[in-house]
Amino acid sequence: MATLADKNSVRSLKGFVEIENLSVCFKRKGHTVQVLDSINLQIHPGEFACLLGPSGCGKSTILNAIAGFIKPTSGCIFVDKKQVTTPGADRGFVFQQYSLLPWKTTFENVEFGLKIQGVPKSKRQELVNDFLNQVGLYKHRHSYPHQLSGGMQQRASIIRALVNSPSVLLMDEPFAALDAQTRQMMRELLLTIWSHLKPTVIFVTHDIEEAVFLSDRIFVMGFHPGNIKANIDVSLERPRHTDCLLSPEFVKLNRQIFELIREETLKSMELN
């Protein structure tokens, strides 16, 4: 199990995600609605990928299918060549809403998955304290979720997923409920942790700036039904900090993606 301290020995050989012809239909008021249509994509081990698109295009549905929370209507998903049929410890999930267990302390929340896996107590303590330290929550380890700010709760949620060493970290708009200042700090913190542990990250957002700041690759989605409209490489230098937001390459990419999404949104509103 990798700790943040193992950063020099970190692997990046796991976490290869392949989606082949994924279609998803839901039943709504007696009708079948197709939400995703023949999605094909590959995300390489250790890559930071964002799914970006207008509200309702099916971003969370893709994430939920990779997590194994919903079954494809047709098509397949593979993680490291193994077909996804159920949730599994190889995939960690961070939700938009803070999802810590309210009756457990910060330490106990982060420890929870390790306990279920039967990791011995001394190893659990070492791992959890290491992660708590790295995200500045060690002194809050005995606090309950209601005693933490939103940003602190999301830091705890992220390390709760990462402490189990998932090869893929699935994040569904994890910073959407935070104020702008905290959100930017959380993005930088996430990149620091990711660069040490290098899980594959699949991050859902409808914030273009957030996607460009974080990603190696952005899948821009269109909708009715949801599909992949563009696959964009982001080759901005790393490590990335706030200065990066003002660089000409950053501004240019933002603009390019803004135009793509605008076209799609106008189409959906039948305004073009």
Ligand X SMILES: Nc1ncnc2c1ncn2[C@@H]1O[C@H](COP(=O)(O)OP(=O)(O)OP(=O)(O)O)[C@@H](O)[C@H]1O
Q: Which residues bind ligand X (CB under 6 A)?
A: 26, 28, 35, 53, 55-61, 206
What is the smallest separation between the CB atom of 28 and ligand X, expressed in angstroms? 5
Three-class SS state of 138: helix
What is the smallest separation between the CB atom of 10 and ligand X, expressed in angstroms? 30
Residue nearer to ligand X on the CB measure, 193 or 261: 261
Residue nearer to ligand X on the CB measure, 95 or 138: 95
CB of 16 closer than 8 Å to CB of 44? yes
H/E segment holding residue 52: strand 48-52
CB of 46 closer than 8 Å to CB of 57? no
Nearest in space to 116 (alpha carbons), one of 137, 89, 141, 144: 89
What is the smallest separation between the CB atom of 33 and ligand X, expressed in angstroms? 6
Q: Where does residue 93 fall: left (phi above 0), alpha (psi -120 to 50 degrees), or beta otherwise?
A: beta
Residue nearer to ligand X on the CB measure, 57 or 234: 57
Q: Where does residue 175 fall: left (phi above 0), alpha (psi -120 to 50 degrees), or beta otherwise?
A: alpha
Q: Which residues of 238-247 are buried (b: 16+ CB within 10 A; e: fewer)?
A: eebeeebeee
Residue nearer to ligand X on the CB measure, 24 or 159: 24
What is the smallest separation between the CB atom of 104 and ligand X, expressed in angstroms? 27
Residue nearer to ligand X on the CB measure, 59 or 140: 59
Whole-number Cα distances in Å, 73 to 26, 38, 91? 9, 10, 21
What is the smallest separation between the CB atom of 224 and ligand X, expressed in angstroms? 9
What is the smallest separation between the CB atom of 65 and ligand X, expressed in angstroms? 10
Residue nearer to ligand X on the CB measure, 29 or 81: 29
Count Cβ atoms within 10 A of the Cβ of residue 219 and give its class: 0-12 exposed, 13-18 middle, 19 or more buried: buried
What is the smallest separation between the CB atom of 57 and ligand X, expressed in angstroms? 4
Q: Computed from CA positions of residues 63, 87, 196, 18, in that sequence, does the dihedral angle turn out positive or negative?
A: negative
Residue nearer to ligand X on the CB measure, 32 or 235: 32
- What pairs with residue 219 in β-bridges? 51, 231
